[in-house]
Amino acid sequence: MGGHPWIPNADPGILGEMLRAIGVGSVDDLYRDIPGEARFEGWDGLPIGEGGPLSEVEVARRLEALLGRVRVYRDPPPFVGGGVWPRYVPELVRYIVERGEFLTAYTPYQPEASQGLLQALFEYQSLMAELLEMEVVNSSHYDWSTALAEAALMAVRYHRGRRRRLLVPEVMHPRHRRVLEAYTRPHGVEVEEYRVDPETGLAVLGDLESRLGGDVAAVYLEYPYTMTGVVEEQAREIGEAAHGSGALYIVGVDPVAMALLEPPGRLGADIAVGDGQPLGLGLNYGGPYLGVMAVRWDARLVRQMPGRLIGMTVDSEGRRAFAMILQTREQHIRRARATSNITTNEALAAVAAAVYLSLLGPEGLRGVAEYSWYMAHYAARRLSEVEGVESPLLGGSFLWDFTVRLPRPASEVRERLRRRGILAGVPLEGVAPWLGAGDMLLTVTELHEKRHVDMLADALAEALGGG
Amino acid sequence: MAYRQARWDEPLVFELDTPGRRGFIPPEPPREVVESVGPLRLPGRVARRAPPGLPRLSEVEVARHYTRLSQMSYGVDSGPVPLGSCTMKYNPRVAARYAFDPRLQLVHPLQPDEDVQGLLEIAWHVQEWLKHILGMDACTLHPAAGAQGELAGVLMIRRYHELRGELEARTTIIVPDSAHGTNPASASMGGFRVLEVPTAEDGNVDMEALQAAVGPDTAGLMITNPSTLGLFEERILEVARLVHGAGGLLYYDGANLNGIMGRARPGDMGFDIAHVNLHKTFSSPHGGGGPGAGPVCVKAKPVAGGVTLADLLPGPVVVRRGGEYRLRWPGEASVGLLRAWQWNTAPIVWAYAYMLALGARGLRLAGEVSVVNTNYFLALLRGESGYSVPYAPGRPRKHEAVVSAEPLHRETGATAEDVAKGLLDRGFYAPTIYFPLIVREALMVEFTESETRENIEAYARALREIAGEARRDPGEPKRWPRNTSSARVDNVRANHPRTVTPTWRVHRLRLEGKIGPLR
């Protein structure tokens, strides 16, 4: 084999000279310390790729063909949310994160050569802090669910392990709950639900209060609820109840909703979590997303916070500079006693969110949120005109996610819509005992035109009408 | 070669705020829609009273601002990034086109398998190729990072002992003292006690200490091979026998896989569980800290009652039946979900492109050239008395080498950090410093197969020059770096309770006297 575009020293001539300088006769000599039993001789016969190198022409052709076998719903765009949202990604966001200086950089361990990346991450933290009105934001977690799981572990540490119960809403995102359980089970944490009213979709405060006690580490709220879209109007009261029993208050948010709703910092939240996915990341079939975590200005909370923090400081010439801070919380310093094992995170997604928020500003974000609100409410009304459809199902206010009850199983209807070129809805059966087979979550955003909503309504009428 | 990084006095985006500017025009809801639903109604108790304090900029300003910030960053596209244990390879551009394909922005994770056959095929190939590369029987691409792969592994170790009714007794995970910090941190997160064992003079795990550590409380051992010293663990088979003999499982931290790729496989060395970092060994970009992907693979080792380790994997596995690809979500025995959705798609597409482009022979070549590059670098450093190579100096290194600047430090006072800053001044990214913890003034260097011979030579020359300058003027290294975007950063101020500033909001509230020190 000769040279290779990505392996500059692969040419046998170059390699031979290097081996001579090392003082060995062959590459094999550099592996002579691997005991025979541990060596693997059959490598070249392994069915990996085509066996040997391919040209870029062939690689691009293969990828093009594979991406061609992905069905993309454009007209209309997907009406599917569930803790992630179809939203427009401004082209500038994508361009900035593709710049090699950001894209191909490592964690900024050497601040002097990484000032731009550090500043961009500091700006992400700062923009998110304004959105949430929380003082400290890290950058970052894998997604909403892992930010929540780590927030829960943090709450247990905050109480020095003396409180190990978590109260979560009955309608909580089922997958977030599974992740929460996987992370907290080894630490003897018990996750318990508080009731949500089946008529309004709002928390039953009395039920929450009856469950509170000296062993509750934290109360968690989704705001709005990811699986029903309902905006919890008692968000302050829930926080007060949590604090009244000495528990921490964790609020999980859709960041775009913060354009319209009081931020967690004004609801008494100690920790805010959420997903930065709608801030210019796209759906990406599962990831990369952006786990958000924020805490208020409290040394005990900050010291227990996992993940990377960037801070503003000065350099030796007195100029403003940025660096990774409070690293004694992290694994590379504290090892087994670290606040988390997290290292690689979603830094580039945080940069994307920073670009997105800088572009949209307060008015742009509000505009996107308002458009989504109007179009979603129009959709809820249009669907209510379809025979047999209850829309919206719940009495509580919503923004752009809402629940409908269909006269047929939601999974079946979803399939029928898909055959008509429409991807819509998350079936809700089992999310709460009172959500049944016909219940479905729908999502409408700035990607949807009026005619898209009309297409959905017409297709739904057809799907429900036929046998 | 003179080097000068961009040094913009770039304000914070908040300082660029100008009333009246906007960078995005949101669509207007059509009049019929507004008429149909009436004015915006929000629940009064939670309607936002004051808009968020986001800055107002035009798109032009946002584009320039972040372009300038990117110019004050440094990645593999800028020059060599020989960070030890980080495997900073070139990230082939052909993959970017597809990893960032705008079509993917609209592909929802709940989309049925029929809709995403192309993506599932990509994932299936990566999964199958990883099995071959690691010598394992089953893989999942679910974990979002190496550390999450480790957590997956630790939780599987936990579940293994739980299903065998031994969890109460199996309280300890053993980790060598040269391990990455994530290993002990992951073991703790999985609810285990961590026991560290020392490294012997020859660079291998101290077998006597390991024998003393292994016992009925051993849940497992986490180890990387080659070690963080870049040395192959010569007694790995003995280590495996010892741990297995005591009923524990063997976990392979794949951060250093490039060092043996094409020559040896964890599955053949007795490992039960292994993770790899697609953003290291398989060339997907680090993105300044992420996103990554940390697939985890296992041997189909029996656990209990017909369950094998493969059934314990978290997240979905891609299965192929008759040319159709399906996601198989985890069952009862599994450790569950470690993130809400399937996986990080972009790094998987990238790794697919890399593996496809190289094939088995190309991947072996990549591993081999990385090893040649490391040893060539050490050869170039011979005879420079400022640096030593601790632990078995005669043994060949694999993907990386740990050089100690301790002799230089004793002679001139220059530290590993000073040396790192000197390298930055010469246009290189610095090595990983002060790691592994068992080497004083450690400089951990990993070139990968991506580096040119000329750059390796220039880097070795730079290290010699740095030693020379430190000898001529011991005060000089403390004044480095000069050619980067900032001079030496004040870490004391960055971390002091009175000055620590994690956000602009904290800066502002402090100036307004609304918050006190962080204590």
Burial of B268 (0-12, 13-18, 19+ CB in 10 A): middle
pLDDT (average), residues A376-384: 98
The string of DSSP letters for A280-348 reads: TT--GGG-S--EEEEE-S-HHHHHH--S-EEEEEEBTTS-EEEEEE-GGGSHHHHGGGSS----S--HH
Q: What is the pLDDT of residue B1?
A: 52
pLDDT at A1 over 70: no
pLDDT (average), residues A392-403: 98
- Work out the mean pLDDT of chain A and round it to a whole number: 97
- Contact status of B411 with chain A (Cβ, < 8 Å): no
CB spacing of A38 vs B268 below 8 angstroms: yes
Q: Which of these, A295, A302, A294, lies nearest to A275 by C-alpha position?
A: A294
pLDDT (average), residues A353-368: 98
Q: What residue of B is the nearest CA neighbor of A91?
A: B102
Chain B residues within an 8 Å CB radius of A35 = 234, 236-237
Share of chain A above pLDDT 70, in %: 99
pLDDT tens-place string over residues A137-193? 999 999 999 999 999 999 999 999 999 999 999 999 999 999 999 999 999 999 999
Q: What is the pLDDT of residue A466?
A: 62
Q: What is the pLDDT of residue A179?
A: 98
- Contact status of B280 with chain A (Cβ, < 8 Å): no
The yes or no reply on domain A91-356 and CATH 3.30.750.24 is: no
**Domain limits, chain B:** 1-40+52-73, 115-353
ipTM of the prediction: 0.98
pLDDT at A336 over 90: no
Indicate the pLDDT class of residue A331, thresholds 50, 70 and 90: confident
pLDDT tens-place string over residues A420-442? 999 999 999 999 999 999 999 99
Of A18, A285, A362, the CB nearest to B345: A285
- Please give the DSSP secondary-structure letter assigned to residue B269: G
Rounded to whole angstroms, how far apart are CA atoms A250 and A145? 13
Q: Which residues contact B363 (CB under 8 A, 6 or more apart)?
A: A48, B133, B261, B262, B355
Q: Which residues of B133-170 are buried (b: 16+ CB within 10 A; e: fewer)?
A: bbbbebbbbbbbbbbbbbbbbbbbbbbbbbbeeebeeb
Burial of A79 (0-12, 13-18, 19+ CB in 10 A): buried
State the CATH architecture for A361-465. Alpha-Beta Complex (3.90)
Cα end-to-end distance, chain A, whole Å: 63
Rg (C-alpha) for chain A, rounded Å, is 26
pLDDT (average), residues A45-73: 98
* Cβ(B205)–Cβ(B235) below 8 Å: yes
pLDDT (average), residues A356-379: 98
pLDDT tens-place string over residues A184-233? 999 999 999 999 999 999 999 999 999 999 999 999 999 999 999 999 99
- Contact status of B461 with chain A (Cβ, < 8 Å): no
Please name the residues between 427 and 456 in chain B that touch chain A, using a CB distance below 8 Å.
Answer: 429-430, 432, 435, 449-453
Q: What is the pLDDT of residue A125?
A: 98
* Cβ(B91)–Cβ(B97) below 8 Å: no
pLDDT tens-place string over residues A80-89? 999 999 999 9
CB spacing of B490 vs A66 below 8 angstroms: no
Q: Which of A336-350, A399-413, B21-35, B450-464 has the lowest mean pLDDT?
A: A336-350
Other CB atoms closer than 10 Å to residue B110's CB: what's the count?
18
Q: Which of A326-330, A394-398, A400-404, B289-293 has the lowest mean pLDDT?
A: A326-330
Rounded to whole angstroms, how far apart are CA atoms B253 and B243? 16
A454 Cα to chain B: minimum distance (Å):
11
Paired residues of A248 in beta bridges:
A218
pLDDT tens-place string over residues B228-254? 999 999 999 999 999 999 999 999 999
CB spacing of A349 vs B290 below 8 angstroms: yes
Amino acid identity of residue B38, one-letter, is G
CB spacing of B144 vs A146 below 8 angstroms: yes
Rounded to whole angstroms, how far apart are CA atoms A239 and A219? 8
B193 Cα to chain A: minimum distance (Å):
8
Disruptive mutation site among B7, B320, B505 for chain A (greatest number of A CBs within 10 Å): B505
- Please give the DSSP secondary-structure letter assigned to residue B388: B
Q: What is the pLDDT of residue A335?
A: 86
**Domain limits, chain A:** 12-52, 91-356, 361-465
- What's the CATH code, domain B115-353? 3.40.640.10
Q: Which residues of chain B are modeled with pLDDT < 50?
A: none
Q: What is the pLDDT of residue A334?
A: 85
A459 Cα to chain B: minimum distance (Å):
18
Q: What residue of A is the nearest CA neighbor of B204?
A: A33
